[in-house]
Structure 1
Amino acid sequence: MTSGAKVLLLGAGTVGQAAARFAAELDGISQLIVADRDLDQASRAAGERAEAITLDVTDRAALGAAMRSADFVLNCVGPFFRFGPPVLAAAIEAGCAYLDICDDPEPTLAMLDLDARARAAGVTAVVGQGASPGSSNLLAMMVAAATPGCNSLITGWSLDDDPGDADGAANEHWIEQATGEILVWREGQLTSERPLAELEVALPGFPPRSALTIGHPEAVTLPRVIGGLDTCINVMTLPSALAATLKRAARAVAVEGLAPMEASRRELARHQPGSGEPVPEYPGVWALAEGPDGAAGAFIPDYGRMTDMATATAAPLVAGLALLMAGKAARTGVLAPEEAFRPDDYFAALSRIAGVEGDFVRLVRA
């Protein structure tokens, strides 16, 4: 590695491992440290191009000491409704730049509330810098700009590949945001409603699909930047059998009082991938804008080296790191991806990490 920045990567799960591989390829990093409670797991993620240390992020003193020796922190420790705000607060206190892959709206809002503190410390922090949120937010900025009078914005992600191997934190988040009430933008304001509402979406260039609403940060951050929105929601497209599994797990939480992790383990163990009627697949991450005179959609047609959920989440995180290292963040403070980066800068960085040449994003108007 060339001389330059010191990067601390927190969490050596599947996303952390992928992030370590991508970050090790960046120019300008002098030291990459992978930290996890499990030193063996951290060592496997670090490989030969990084260092590994034992660290429990709930140990505030140890976390602060590790951060004070870093210029940038990548937080891959989930679920973020537990670990997002306290880890970000520690990064601000230590004075180091911060990025994470937070995909829960409530801690996203809590972390955005630390904006003034981060500005005072001269720290730039980007929360939700993964696939969704992350890439989805920047796709949304593109379609909104391409749709005059945009008043409806839907971000979506596909589980058509039926990933049954997501890690525990991802599954816990998934069930957590499918139960109780979720935050959405309706009639020009932030409100709460029940998740898993079914609706039909029609992404330009694709057949109409049934989708389910799910709690996600895009619905609470995009209206901060894009004015005039009546509606802003996040949805997922998924096979009918997986949708039924999710609904059973959500019902187990609501009716039986199971914890989200218990419900996800039980119902995913019973899930049978591949069952149900075949449906036309949607892109992994996409955005759809509608206005009085038409609609526009955007998606990534070729994911290159982003071959699974872990790499598709880690590559955007490392793209964000590359942009922070290049001084391309909009300002200091705590920012959502759409506040931090320009879409063209972001997708250029992501395409390089993904190893995709040519047009990386496809924009389609209806």
Structure 2
Amino acid sequence: MKIAVYGASGFTGRLVVAELAHRGIGAVLVGRDAERLQRVADAEVRQAPLEHAALVRAFRGCAAVINCAGPFSLLGEPVLRAADAASCHYVDIAGEQTYLARLFEGPGPDVSAVPGVNDDGLPSDLLAHLVAGRVGSVRELVIGLDLVRGGGAPSRGTLRSALANLDTFTAGGLGYADGRWDPDLPARRTTMAFLGAAVPVVKFPLPAVVTVPHHVAAGRVEGVARPELVAGFAGVTPELVEQLPEGPAESHRRAGRWIIAVEAVGDEGRARGVVHGADTYGTTAVTAVEAARRLVADGAAPGLLAPAQAFDAADFLAFLETRGVTVDGVRPPRSRSSSAGPRDRT
């Protein structure tokens, strides 16, 4: 199995390449600067500009593509279309809600493609699927994110993506109600408990607000986060991005924590689940590699898929528990060596 990594010389791209090596999976490093790619790892390098034919040639012979190059609102779709033309399954690490919404509104690829596979997007989507399954007909689903930085700033790639989507972050992004996504839908939730007492939260453009309604028939879905997180994105400037290091030091990464809480209300009561862990960037690398591996090894339906449409939700969360993630409120079974294969997408 060979997996291509586009944007392998970036901060998270290098972590993805290291995770592939750790898992014993062959990596093909693809990007515009061959010299930079050669410094990443002792792996095959294929130079390619952001041009369709060149990318297709670079991806040929690979089983899947992991796209780590943002902003995805600019760079995501060209890489996805090239992966599709090269018959490669596709995952990316996008956290950009408007990009994900645009993908799901457009024509689907012939391969299996799961965008938004990162420390936030995939666990929140899978957890929401399991929590929603405990309340019958879902009237309301709330997904909350809390980030505790370990002293380091976000990576430049994260901040460049934030700059490209600044209006979305400051306005709170999409909410879902009555069968449609609405940027003007205000969040009802003003407080939420994560791992302790309830804290103030505000509307936030979480990827799962886009993906969850594709597999959960919910009357309403909203994403929230602490106000401090919104304020942090609002203060990003191009000058700030260039002044920061490419990414946080490993000690800072491991000292930080991410927490996702999901609460559902339905005709059979209420349910809640929490998933949390350390090192957002390291978790993103683990998640992206495992998602690509499962698409290749186990298969999934063709087209644009939410994580819970492509993977068995409980089994994938159980795998993440073997890599230091904690899941509370829903008990996934012990992870198998591979996923259960394509799941029923009703």
Counterpart for residue 315 of structure 2: 345
Please say if 1:336 is aligned against 2:312: no
Q: Which runs of 5+ in 2 are unaligned?
A: 246-255, 332-346
Scaled by the length of structure 1, the TM-score of the pair is 0.76
Counterpart for residue 32 of structure 1: 27
Deviation of the 1:140 alpha carbon: 0.7
Counterpart for residue 47 of structure 2: 54
Aligned counterparts, 1:164-175, within 5 A: 164-175=152-163
In 2, distance between residues paired with 1:263 and 1:336? 35
In 2, distance between residues paired with 1:348 and 1:364? 10
Out of 177, 186, 189, the position equivalent to 2:180 is: 189
Alignment RMSD: 3.1
Counterpart for residue 259 of structure 2: 284
Counterpart for residue 281 of structure 2: 310
Moved more, 92-101 or 193-202: 193-202
**Are residues 142 and 23 of structure 1, via their aligned partners in 2, closer, same or farther at CA, if it must alter by over 3 Å?**
same
In 2, distance between residues paired with 1:17 and 1:183? 31
1:250-294 deviation line (CA, Å, top 9, x unaligned): xxxxxxxxxx6527649999xxxxxxxxxxx98523322223554
8 Å CA contact 2:172–2:203 kept in 1: the answer is: no
**Are residues 138 and 198 of structure 1, via their aligned partners in 2, closer, same or farther at CA, if it must alter by over 3 Å?**
closer
- SS of match in other structure, 1:106: helix
In 2, distance between residues paired with 1:266 and 1:62? 29
- SS of match in other structure, 2:149: coil
Counterpart for residue 71 of structure 1: 63
**Are residues 180 and 158 of structure 1, via their aligned partners in 2, closer, same or farther at CA, if it must alter by over 3 Å?**
closer
In 2, distance between residues paired with 1:73 and 1:208? 40
8 Å CA contact 2:59–2:88 kept in 1: the answer is: yes
Counterpart for residue 38 of structure 2: 43
Counterpart for residue 221 of structure 1: 211
8 Å CA contact 2:116–2:207 kept in 1: the answer is: yes
Counterpart for residue 134 of structure 1: 122
Deviation of the 1:52 alpha carbon: 3.3
8 Å CA contact 1:206–1:282 kept in 2: the answer is: no
Sequence identity percentage: 27
**Are residues 145 and 318 of structure 1, via their aligned partners in 2, closer, same or farther at CA, if it must alter by over 3 Å?**
same
Counterpart for residue 321 of structure 1: 292
8 Å CA contact 1:103–1:216 kept in 2: the answer is: yes
In 1, distance between residues paired with 2:172 and 2:231? 19
In 1, distance between residues paired with 2:189 and 2:127? 23
In 2, distance between residues paired with 1:38 and 1:14? 15
Deviation of the 1:8 alpha carbon: 0.6
